[in-house]
Structure 1
Amino acid sequence: MVFCDTTPLIALASIDRLDLLHQVLGDIAVAQAVAEECAQGGPISVPALRSLAWMTVYPDLPSDDAMILDLDRGEKQTILLARHHGGDLVVIDERRARGLAEYLGLRVTGTLGILARAKASGLIPSFREAAVAMHDQGIYYSRGLIERLAERLGEIVAN
């Protein structure tokens, strides 16, 4: 079971490729907190998660775990639910939350990992172009990381 946090959903929706999540990872689970964060709206519109046949929304769990208290609600619930349901993978971008999820024994990937898998599978023509398009929508990732991943995927920069 794959659990996804809010930021990857917003990032992929920013380039109208939320479908990549499903195409790369199959069915996706999210916490109620994540569904609510996406529904609040903002500059980037995310479709109603409950309307997606491949998305399941799980009720939030109570928590008093001191290790995750300083995470935002969506990150906290994503990690809690993945641990509770024996999640195979967590899709989360925020560095602190990723580190904690890994510390707790969860496998982690992020939005750029989804794009890399999509490129490797031939689902998108260019990892770099997709990452830059997200940046143009206000989604920021390390430019150095984008370039390193693009090079690993065989995308050469024209000089």
Structure 2
Amino acid sequence: MRIIVADSGPLIALAGLDGLPWPVALWGRVLVPRTVIHECVERAATAGSASILRACEKGVLEVCEDEALADELIALSLDPGEKKAIALALRLEGSLLIDEQRGRRAAAHLRIPHIGTCGTLVLAKRAGLVPQVAPCSTRVHGSGYFLSPQLIQDTLRLAEEI
């Protein structure tokens, strides 16, 4: 069984698609540091917060205690959830589900395999979990979650939809 550690951005985006089970189907276990859960649900108005809490209660998302941060992570200009997700992925030698560019660069520097929301959508299509990526990316983008036009085009190309 493989493990992926999730940051808040992809969880919020996938919750808006009722797609929180997809990472479980793709990777086996989805671990989420407590700080990341707090970021997702600290405001009841956060899109998907109720879905994220239900997924935690059902065990779809496994909430983990926060890891102590190594000096190299403390110095990074990342939000607390990203740092905690990276620290957990490092300790477990797992993959990382993260969208924020600075976090992805840090993961690459630390040699942590990582993927974002759009990559997850492509894999979900390939696994037969969603019929098309385009409607999903449109919904995510329409909800106010930032996806650059270039990222959407690249994603649709990888999904063989353009």
Amino acid at match of 2:27: L
Q: What is the 5 A alignment of 1:7-156? A: 7-41=9-43, 42-46=45-49, 47-48=52-53, 49-63=55-69, 65-69=71-75, 70-87=77-94, 89-156=95-162
Q: Secondary structure at the match of 1:27?
A: strand
Structure-2-length-normalised TM-score: 0.87
Tell me, yes or no, if the aligned pair for 1:128 and 1:147 is still in contact at 8 Å.
Answer: no
The count of corresponding residues between Structure 1 and Structure 2 is 155
Tell me, yes or no, if the aligned pair for 2:21 and 2:60 is still in contact at 8 Å.
Answer: no
> Quick one: distance in 2 between partners of 1:14 and 1:54?
16
Could you tell me which runs of 5 or more consecutive residues in structure 2 were left unpaired when the two chains were aligned: none
How far residue 112 of structure 1 moved from its aligned partner, in angstroms, is: 0.5
Could you tell me which runs of 5 or more consecutive residues in structure 1 were left unpaired when the two chains were aligned: none
Q: Which stretch of the first structure deviates more once superposed, 100-109 or 16-25?
A: 16-25
Tell me, yes or no, if the aligned pair for 1:118 and 1:124 is still in contact at 8 Å.
Answer: yes
Amino acid at match of 1:100: A
Q: String of CA shifts for 1:28-76, please: whole Å, max 9, x gaps.
A: 0011101111221334022315313232211112325244432101000
Q: Which stretch of the first structure deviates more once superposed, 19-28 or 129-138?
A: 19-28
Q: String of CA shifts for 1:93-138, please: whole Å, max 9, x gaps.
A: 0011111111111101001010000111221121111011101111
Tell me, yes or no, if the aligned pair for 2:96 and 2:112 is still in contact at 8 Å.
Answer: yes
> Quick one: distance in 2 between partners of 1:115 and 1:109?
10
Amino acid at match of 2:57: S
Q: Secondary structure at the match of 2:62?
A: strand
- Root-mean-square deviation (CA, aligned residues, Å) is 1.6
How far residue 3 of structure 1 moved from its aligned partner, in angstroms, is: 0.5
Tell me, yes or no, if the aligned pair for 1:2 and 1:91 is still in contact at 8 Å.
Answer: yes
Amino acid at match of 2:31: A
Structure-1-length-normalised TM-score: 0.89
Amino acid at match of 1:6: S
Q: Give percent identity, aligned residues only.
A: 32
